[in-house]
Amino acid sequence: MDKKWQYPHRRWNPLRRTWVLVSPHRTQRPWQGEVGQKAMPSGVSYDPECYLCPGNKRAGGHANPAYESIFTFVNDYAALLPETSSVKDAPASALLQAEPARGLCKVLCFHPDHSLTLARMTQPEIRRVVDAWAREYEELAALEWIEYVQIFENRGAMMGASNPHPHGQIWSTGFVPDEPAAETAAQREHLTRSGRCLLCDYVAAEREASERVIFENEHFAAIVPWWAVWPFEALLVSKRHLGAMLELSGSERDALADALRRLTTRFDNLFETSFPYTMGFHQTPTDGKEHAEWHFHAHFYPPLLRSATVRKFMVGFEMLGMPQRDITAEHAAERLRACSEEHFWPRG
């Protein structure tokens, strides 16, 4: 790796049009802060106390069916509701604005086996999850008032997951949230200025440089992005220009399932732990407008920094100034490339 990156520098994030501070020399600092517990895969295929296992009663009182593959339901404790009352009182100041927020929040169980994660599921099992995500996107996008469909997974207690059962969430909103709105603006500006897709150009540049590419398959590239903030952050990008999961061909859906399995397995093998992360897909808004600028991709934000028990905290300068990281994206990619794609904890 080029020694010039071993000194403090800033890197530009073209998707957010923001900077990140990189401070590689800080990796040598001693650590006397919080040390968490190592998370290992569960050995329990069915937990009678789990709200998401087949046949069990959820916290809201509803009973799950005895599902054998995918199970989707409306979140019993949704952050958004399809119907909402209007904001009646006018604000005392133009600086104190509010407006109604509508949405529909769903939970998607990936598998009936309580012990599994994406990393320990087979490619065909993950392909069924991909198909379910695409169906949900299509059905929710068909609702006239839905402007964005956010598919995501919080994996592990360290990332706030309230239940270890393999599952993710789908929040569809009557507005475009801030992160995809910022990416919309950045991608549109690049297309207007250059006549080309921002992420098509970016993937081409990363494949040529190669040092931040973790792996590729026929249709997807897994990259530690140039602008990564989290220590082992990853970007999963389609090689073909398309806007949403619904546009993926059969072979591309297979490739996405393959990439998800390989990337999450490498994460787990890095520190031999059930690796925590927040993962989500960014895709075309469903606001009825033309979005030629949009390119389908997924972000992985894992918090672990030095080991299975030491995590990166976004505090101090990160909260008050700008994002900052200690290890370079190149070093993170090198370590992930070195990880096996055979899971350290064999299934069964």
Q: Which residues are catalytically annotated?
A: 167
Distance CA 330, CA 97 (A): 43
Angle at 72 between CA 157 and CA 286, to 5 degrees: 95
Half-sphere exposure (CA, 13 Å, Cβ side) for 36? Answer: 22
CA-closest candidate to residue 326, choices 26, 28, 30, 29 = 26
Distance CA 10, CA 325 (A): 10
Q: Quote the distance between the C-alpha of residue 191 and its chain's center.
A: 24
Sheet holding 103-109, edge to edge: 71-74, 103-109, 167-173, 148-155, 277-282, 297-301, 234-238, 220-223, 213-216
* 336: CB partners within 8 A, 6+ apart: 214, 224, 232, 234, 266, 267, 270
